[in-house]
Amino acid sequence: MVKGVVVVILGLVFVGFGVAGVVAELGRSSARAEVVSVAQDGSWLVPTVRFTAEGGQVVTTTLRRSKKVYRPGDHLPMRYDPEQPVRAQLESRWAWALMFLAVGTGAVVYGIVLVRETGAAQSS
C-alpha cells in the first residue's frame, strides 16, 4: 500500500511540473527572429538574434550556447514572455510539459491500481 501511495505522490509531482509548463507556454508569444551574429565560446556557438515583439518593440538578445550551427541571416522561431521579451527562448517547451503530464498521469493511475490491489489483498 505504501508503495502505491509513493507512486501516486511522485506522479502528482510530475503532473504539477507538466501543468506549470503548460501554463508558462500559454503565457508566451511567438515571433520569427533573425540571427544577427554568432560568437564562439570554445566548442559552443552563441547566437544573437533580433525580432519584433508585440507592440512593435525590436528586441535583440543572446541565446543560450548551442552546438547547432546558425549563420547570420537565418530565421528562427522564438517563444518569449511579452513582459520580458529579452528572455526569449529558441524552442518551445510544449514537448517537455506534455511528457511530464503523460508520465505523471500514468504514475498516478498505476499508483491507484497498486493501492487498490494492496488494499484488497490485505482485507482478504
d(CA 90, CA 53): 14
pLDDT (tens digit per residue) in 71-95 = 899 998 888 888 889 888 876 677 8
Number of domains observed in the structure of the chain? 1
Which percentage of the chain shows pLDDT scores above 70? 95
Q: Go through the chain and tell me how many residues it has.
A: 124
pLDDT (tens digit per residue) in 20-41 = 988 887 877 888 888 999 998 8
The amino acid that residue 23 corresponds to is V
Q: What is the pLDDT of residue 58?
A: 94
How high does pLDDT run on average in the chain? 88
Q: Can you give the residue range of the structural domain that contains 31?
A: 2-123
DSSP 3-state percent helix, strand, coil across the chain (nearest 5): 45, 35, 20
C-alpha cell read off for 22: 503548460
CATH of the domain at 111: 2.40.50
